[in-house]
Amino acid sequence: MKHIYTGKTKDVYEREDGNYLLKFKDDVTGENGVFDPGANTVGLTMEGAGRAGLRLTKHFFEVLKEKEIPTHYIDADIEAATMTVQPAAVFGNGLEVICRYRAVGSFLRRYGLYAQEGQPLDAFVEVTLKDDERQDPPISEDALAMLDILSHEEYKELKGLTRKIANTVKDELAKKDIDLYDIKFEFGRGKDGQILLIDEISGGNMRAYKQGEYIEPLQLEKIMLEM
């Protein structure tokens, strides 16, 4: 098994059979010790964060599998904090696709002239480039097509998939009386060119609130996974 990439919150290994192994770490993104799902730096290390993130990811990916929504997920080993996934090529150098139900975070920082904090947004989808040096700039459908990152047809598919997956997560959270404010995903092209959800779906990917109070990722994972 070959170590091929060290990410901010996980490491990636290539398996002999052509699949990949994601090793979840206890590092979470943020700044100065405060968690922020939109941050580009590791802000803090929380013991058990890797396994808790993986458990929630496993849960969501299995729900998506039942709904026949295409993802890279094959299986997960909670004890080892690893997930086995199909190979998938990211679009360009990687995109983040965000689905928003409430105006918070970077949406509010950009469009605060027109939006109130916490205002409902109708499963609004936007794409940002993964580019730490340029602070992950937002990019339009037209620019993605012009720069050969994603065709117009792929954009439509990506947007539809994003809404379906985000709505699934939102419904799962609602079962525990938790409100999803926003969530970010990564996608890739699988072997046959099909668009797959990749990466993870854990507390670190989303902002969740209960009765108007923000829930930290580890706390969210605890609530979501208690029987």
In the complex, the residues that contact a copy of itself under the rule CB under 8 A are 92-93, 109-115, 121-122, 124-126, 129, 131, 133-134, 137-143, 146-147, 149
Q: What gap in Å lies between CA 222 and CA 189, rounded to an integer?
A: 32
The residue among 21 and 165 lying less far from a copy of itself, judged by its C-beta, is: 165
Output the smallest distance, CB 147 to a copy of itself, in A. Answer: 4
Structure tokens given for 227: 């029987």
Task: Give the three-state DSSP class for 208.
Answer: strand
The residue among 67 and 134 lying less far from a copy of itself, judged by its C-beta, is: 134
Output the smallest distance, CB 140 to a copy of itself, in A. Answer: 5
Output the smallest distance, CB 3 to a copy of itself, in A. Answer: 25
- Which residues sit opposite 160 in a β-bridge? none
Output the smallest distance, CB 74 to a copy of itself, in A. Answer: 31
Output the smallest distance, CB 141 to a copy of itself, in A. Answer: 7
Strand order in the sheet with 73-77: 2-6, 10-14, 20-24, 82-85, 73-77
Cβ-proximal residues to 36 (8 Å cutoff; 6+ apart), any chain: 29, 30, 43
Secondary structure of 104-136 as H, E, C letters: CHHHHHHHCCCCCCCCEEEEEEEEEECCHHHCC
The residue among 52 and 121 lying less far from a copy of itself, judged by its C-beta, is: 121
Output the smallest distance, CB 97 to a copy of itself, in A. Answer: 13
Q: What gap in Å lies between CA 72 and CA 154, rounded to an integer?
A: 17
Structure tokens given for 118: 């916490």
The residue among 48 and 112 lying less far from a copy of itself, judged by its C-beta, is: 112
The residue among 140 and 194 lying less far from a copy of itself, judged by its C-beta, is: 140
The residue among 14 and 157 lying less far from a copy of itself, judged by its C-beta, is: 157
Q: What gap in Å lies between CA 190 and CA 178, rounded to an integer?
A: 32
